[in-house]
Chain A
């Protein structure tokens, strides 16, 4: 059961991170396509957004590792 919990934590976190990052990057690409001169600022904001969105899924991954290696 422990291993199932760890797998669920990592898997569901991966879904959240994937969907979230996909939304961020797709909007950034759209913005760059509309205004190519803003590419630098949009890229920077994209990386900041990705970093913020990925916090909770990565915390889930670390908890999954802890459960996996403690069992």
Chain B
């Protein structure tokens, strides 16, 4: 199994492969969005403009299925950002991987630009056991719990801020519905929502990538299986991106929509 190049600065570990992957994913999403809105035309839309209009309509319908139509417009950009970024991030780790190995003759710590990835003791220990220390430099950014937890934290802050500012009385009252004795259960529900959002996305994409490295151990005979698995992973990536977006919208609508029934 591959290690990830983690650099410790000031006591916090920075995973270099995640940082590279997030940057690439962000650049691809930005370029895609910028190119789609160049030379907009009503009579003669380009294929990219057509595709992006379909995405906008899809996201709008998704949001409209959770909250009343006049509120749905405000969240289209949030929905589009989430679904495009997460889908492109999920696809990133599938086509190829970049792995570097520490050679047998290397003694002393493994460093990148002067910052240490593996200490000298770990290198010596790996060489004694006869194993190669291999570092993976490319993966899906969402295969890292820190990235998905970051996305889930954004959603968490957004949901509670919107609930507090737009719908204050009902948002605060819903913690005590249906009976005040449900308060600890409601608090637990509030805490587990972002937790499951982060863990769902991370576990799906991480499990897919681990299985890719396992299939690669088969060598040449694993190629058809790898093709099938990569196809399935594209499907899973799309489903998880859609699920993250629609659950975000459901949580926002639960916090902000003034329900008439109570």
Contacts and interface: CB of A to CB of B under 8 A. Distances in A.
Interface in B173-222: 196, 199-200, 202-204, 206-207, 210
Interface stretch (B105-113, B153-161, B239-247): B239-247
Given A44-B65, A48-B246, A55 B239 contact: no
A65 B207 contact: yes
A12 B242 CA distance: 27
B243 A62 contact: no
Interface residues of A, number: 14
A58 B203 contact: yes
A69 B200 contact: no
B69 to A, nearest CB: 16
B1 interface: yes
A55 B242 contact: no
A50 B247 CA distance: 13
A47 B1 contact: no
Interface residues of B, number: 17
A62 B207 contact: yes
Contact of B199 (A44, A59, A69): A59
A69 B239 CA distance: 28
Given A47-B242, A47-B243, A48-B246, A55 B207 contact: no
Contacts of B210: 65
The secondary structure that dominates the A interface is helix
A61 B77 CA distance: 34
Contact of A58 (B65, B207, B246): B207
B243 A61 contact: no
A58 B243 contact: no
A58 B200 contact: yes
Contact of A55 (B65, B196, B206, B246): B196
Nearest to A44: B65
A61 B242 contact: no
Interface string A21-59: 000000000000000000001001001101100110011
Contact of B200 (A47, A55, A61, A65): A55
B212 to A, nearest CB: 12
Q: Which 6 A-B pairs have the closest CB atoms?
A: A51-B243, A58-B203, A62-B203, A55-B200, A69-B1, A59-B203
Given A51-B239, A54-B200, A62-B206, 15 more contacts: A41-B65, A47-B239, A48-B246, A48-B247, A51-B200, A51-B243, A55-B196, A55-B199, A55-B200, A55-B203, A58-B200, A61-B203, A62-B202, A62-B207, A65-B210
